[in-house]
Structure formats: structure tokens, C-alpha cells
Structure 1
């Protein structure tokens, strides 16, 4: 076990498939085991009672004793919290709070990562929009159907030309922030500081594999969507349009299911030193049986970060419209002004601030979801407690709080 949570190789756990000869949860023996075929019926366990009819108090060292080996139960002390989360299965609020607590506790390192990446990203984005992205073609509302179709094609081409560089820049930014923040958050679970140089040294060897994963997941989504839309598009009639719509909906559902299933692949790749395909299999294994829970937490995180981003960027957008172009009157009139440097710079500042706040929250939720699923399935909290040096009474080093 190293000093970070995912470094322990995942061993036999409840998430693993049961082998032959292992009795199932119902107590029924496996056909290949050496258990007798004649087993007594499953009994209904009742708590033992004392002479007065009350419950028997737990014995020292027994399973219900406060110093016993169980992770929970009667008389069990609170779970140790050496870092930003308690070492036990987490609730939704604790996962979100852990992501925000990481930002507060390690703000120098976290903001050093996000601000640096966001500033470089926005500078590249501004230069691309200013010099590479063509101006959208004018649309004639009185054009005949053939001309309107040609104008629509020109608009789509301009959109693709303008979107492709921005998506590539965003992909690279996401790659670096994910790699570095995963290391920072994994250390924060153990209550340990990590400098930016340490995070970079630890994350750098995993960047090629993370890049492969970051490219593979969108390709899988695009392939699924293409398979769903292609039959209807090839027909080209009214029936083909309906078929394309149905195929697109089905493909979107499959894509969503796959993306949630592989949502924990990135922390598995970074923290377990796994390859691209192995990390995807690992994520699918951890999400199995908890798809709706993982989906709900990720959806809530997306909504929260979207709202935070809007709250930050809308004032900067209004200021940019007021300073550049035709002002707010041009915005309300619905015209499309040609934006200059002031507009791009002001909106870029707003985007940097928004990204610096939302990136750590998104990355934190993903990593803590991974940790939570491993705690639930593999008792990773015991490994984390040993790595953090938690005392026998369940307290972290330096924590003298009495626990009873």
C-alpha cells in the first residue's frame, strides 16, 4: 500500500464474481463444494437477551465492542476522518462536501493547477476565435429552398471549423486538470498535502494512457450515434427521417448508459496504474449495480457546476456587450455584432474564473465516487485507514479527541 488510496491493487472483494464452491448469500451450498446436501433450514436470528429480558451487553473485544474490528454497529466509534471525507460509505452530500473541502484545504495547489490551465486555454481560445474562426455567413430570409439549403450547409461548415479547435483545446485542458487534480484529491482523502510539483511528477507518467482514454470515450459515443442515425439518413425520405429520429434517441440512451458505466475509468487509470481498456473494465465493475446512483450524482454535479458557471460568466458577458460592439442595445435587438478584443478578453476572464471553480468540483466528485464505490465493494476504507496511520481508537495521527 502506497501513500495514496488507489495505489493498492484491487483484490478479492464483494464486487468480484463468486468462484465455484462458495456458498451464496442464501446459505445454499454449491454443487461442487464438499458441504453436505442435507443442511438445516435457515434460522431467524434474534438478539440475545439477559436475565431481565434486556439485550446482553457486548463483551470486550467482541463484535459489538467499541474497540472491536467491525466498521459499524452498536457502540462503534465514529469513522475516522484524516482528510476531507470520513472513511466509510459516503452520502451524496458528503461527496459534494468533500470536493469543495479539497478546494478549500488545498486551494494553493488546486487554483495553481486550474488557473494556469484555464488561462492558457482561454488565450488559445481567444486567438483561435480572432484569427482562425471564419465569420458566420449571412442568411437571406427570402432565399428560395435550394439557396436556403446551401446557406445552411455553409453555416454548418463554419460551425464545425470554429468548434473543432475549441474542442481540441478543451480536451487538452481537461486532460491536464483531470490528471493533476486526481492526484491532489487522492492525497486529500488521507489528509496529506501535495505540492504542484509533486502532483505533476506523479501524474506525468500516466498522461499518455489518460489521453488514450480521453480520446476513446468520445469516439465510442460518436460511433454509437452514427450507428443509430445512419439507417434513417440513408433512406432519405419521410420514413427515413422518422427512423433517424428513433435511432438517434436509442443511440443517445445507449451512449448515456455507456458514459456513466465508464465514468470512473479515469480515476481507476490514474490511481491503480491500469491501462485504458483495463480501467474501463474496472469502472464498469465498480458501477455495476449502482448505475442510477452514479448517474444521479453526476447529473447533480453537472447542474450545480452549470449554475455556478452561469452565475460567474453572465455578469462578465453583460459587461463585455456593454463595452464592445453596439452595447446592450445590440444584444436586445438580436443583431450579430462583430466582437473585438475587449469582448473576447472580458468574457475570457469570466471563463477563467468559472473554470477555476468548477473544474475542481467536477474532478473531486468523480474521484470521491470512485473511492466511495471501492469502500462499498472492497472495504477500501480499511486500506485508507492504514495508509493514513489511523490509531486503533479510530482517530487520525495528532487527533486526541475522545471517542466513546
Structure 2
């Protein structure tokens, strides 16, 4: 198997240490070449995070442009699905909101089915869009590492061709993540049953299962973290990409987990830094002037301009946070993948040759 850099797994020499020159003087090793956003050598945490932010700055147009366009397409598709669903059951919706008649299951059932189908369609479209964004970020990072401009059209073509494999990887990893989620739901249900029946056996068993399963799922999830990058850059299928990821992460699990966790914490801090001020800026209905006997609709009408402005700001802030997180986390993961290949397979030499051939 040959990847996008023309190297098979395990090929390519690494950079050796320095040596002793004339008279026994120590000669330090030459600095590694850096044609792009990272030096072609094993990377520390600072280089990984710095390379991520540099890629986001230098290639903002293909990165954020791709994410914006994907979200725009998803929004149009979701709006179309909801419009079609409403058109199909508009009579039932009007019947449910008719004040002169009691709600009837014969009207509620088709509404639930129609909008349930629209929701399912939206989730499928979002899953495909997320896989495409992951693949596109990895393709842009490849060009950034080699010091080449990322052509918007080329990024889209290659990312779209690898989206089915990345989607397969994401679905398999999602199935793994469903295990603790299902146990958590079962734990809550059993807790309710325990409160009603005074039995502690189901809760205790499920708690033990969660205590054992959650760490195991986290371990497997991190082990497969490089799957999207391997599927994009090595042309691997979903199962092959997961096996490739497991081989690269093995022996470096804690490092991969720690840096990924740090990236998640950074995004959480950024999210809080944006959303908390916006939340504080939302109008508080309790401070609005209200006189006894005044109609609540008048109070709401007086708040409407301020509330609408705050909601628009909140939507913009949430969109910015989503844009950054959609790009930042895949870039960090892809750089970790490249770093592991540099450390284990001498990928730095292949990258240097690729960057020189394009110069």
C-alpha cells in the first residue's frame, strides 16, 4: 500500500544524530528542514499545537470555506426536508393547533412520522458532512506540511473521494461510543426501577459494567483515533484504516490520549469564552418593568428587539465556535498521525523529497 506521499508503511530513513568532527569536537545535528508548518522531525506538543494554529491561519480559506459551505448545504437540505414534511402533513398540523378541537392520535401520528423522517435525514446528512470535513482538513494539512498552497477544487475532489472510507471509520467508532451511552441509559432506567421496587441489584450490576466498560471504550477509541487520517492519506478502507491506526498508536497511547485531551480542553475553554459572555448578554425577563394588571404579551413585545439581537449574536458566536472546533480537532489528530509516522517510519525523509520535487 502506498500513501499520498508515495511511501509504504515502515519505509524511509530517519534523521540521525550528530557526530564528532576533526579534533574530537562534537558536531550538533543539522536542524530539520521545514518546508511548511512543521519541522520534518519528531514533534513536541508545542509543535503540534503551533502547526495546527499556523495551518488554520495560512489556509483559512480552504479550511473555513469548506466548513461553511458544508454547513450551508446541510442547512438547505434540512430546511428542504422540513418543508417537505410540513407540506405532507400540513392539514394534521393545523388540526393539532386548532383550539376548537381536541388533539387526536390520528393527527399526531403522521406529524411525528414526517418530522421523524426529516430528523433522520438530517442526522445522516450531518454524519456525511462531518466525514467530508475531516477528510478535507487532512488534505489541507498535507499541503501545509509540504509548504504548498491548498487549491480549493483539489481539496474538494480528493476529500470527496475519500469520504466513504472516512464515513465508515466514523460509523465504526460511533458504534464503539454507543456502548457506554447505552449503559448510561440502562443505568438511569434501572435507577428509576430501583426507586419504585426497592431493589438495588440492577443498579449495582450496571454500575460495575460501566466502571469496566467506559475505560475499555476510551482505550479502544484512542487506539482508532488515526483512522480518518489513514483513510484519507493512505487510501485505506475503514477496517484497514482502523488496523493501521492501532499499529501507530500502540506504544504511544498515553501521549496520543493526553494531547487529544488537551486539544479538547482548549476548545472547551474557547467555547466558554465565547458563549458565557453571550449568555450574560441575553435579556433577563425578571428585570423588565412590569405593572400589576399589565398584559404579559406587552412585556414580551417590549423585550422582543433586545431578545432578537441577543439571539442573533448567540447564533453567530455558536457558529464561530463550531467552525473552529470542526477544523481544530481534526488538524491536531492528523498532526499526531504524521508525528507517529515520522517517529516510527522515517516519513520525514519522504516529506522532504516530496517538498523538493514540488519546488
Q: TM-score, normalised by structure 2?
A: 0.71
Distance 1:286 1:241, change over 3 A: same
How far is the alpha carbon of 1:2 from its aligned partner?
Answer: 8.8
Corresponding position of 1:380: 347
Corresponding position of 2:260: 298
Corresponding position of 1:8: 7
Would the aligned equivalents of 1:229 and 1:245 in 2 still touch at CA under 8 Å? no
Moved more, 162-171 or 108-117: 162-171
Corresponding position of 2:173: 217
**Which string of whole-angstrom CA distances, capped at 9 and with x for unpartnered residues, describes residues 305-340 of structure 1?**
111122223334444x32xxx64759xxxxxx9x99
Instruction: Name which of 84, 90, 110 aligns with 2:43.
Output: 90
CA distance in 2, matches of 1:375, 1:183: 18
State the superposition RMSD in angstroms.
4.0
Instruction: Name which of 341, 345, 370 aligns with 2:337.
Output: 370
Distance 1:229 1:356, change over 3 A: closer
Residues 1:254 and 2:222 are matched in the alignment: no
Distance 1:245 1:197, change over 3 A: same
Would the aligned equivalents of 2:40 and 2:352 in 1 still touch at CA under 8 Å? yes
Alignment of 1:317-396 (within 5 A): 317-319=279-281, 321-322=282-283, 327=285, 329=287, 345-389=312-356
Secondary structure of the corresponding residue to residue 389 of structure 1: helix
Distance 1:329 1:240, change over 3 A: farther
Residues 1:56 and 2:18 are matched in the alignment: no
Distance 1:328 1:205, change over 3 A: farther
Distance 1:351 1:240, change over 3 A: same
CA distance in 1, matches of 2:186, 2:267: 34
CA distance in 2, matches of 1:90, 1:389: 21
Q: Matched residue pairs, number?
A: 303
Corresponding position of 2:227: 265
How far is the alpha carbon of 1:222 from its aligned partner?
Answer: 1.6
Instruction: Name which of 187, 206, 209 aligns with 1:244.
Output: 206
The structure where helix makes up a greater share of residues is 2
**Which string of whole-angstrom CA distances, capped at 9 and with x for unpartnered residues, describes residues 53-112 of structure 1?**
xx6247xxxxxxxxxxxxxxx432111000000000000010000010001111121121
Would the aligned equivalents of 2:10 and 2:346 in 1 still touch at CA under 8 Å? no
CA distance in 2, matches of 1:167, 1:294: 29
Gaps of 5+ in 1: 15-46, 59-73, 133-156, 331-336, 391-395, 398-404
Residues 1:176 and 2:132 are matched in the alignment: yes
Q: TM-score, normalised by structure 1?
A: 0.64
How far is the alpha carbon of 1:250 from its aligned partner?
Answer: 1.5
CA distance in 2, matches of 1:222, 1:175: 18
**Which string of whole-angstrom CA distances, capped at 9 and with x for unpartnered residues, describes residues 142-184 of structure 1?**
xxxxxxxxxxxxxxx9xxx799777556433321211111100
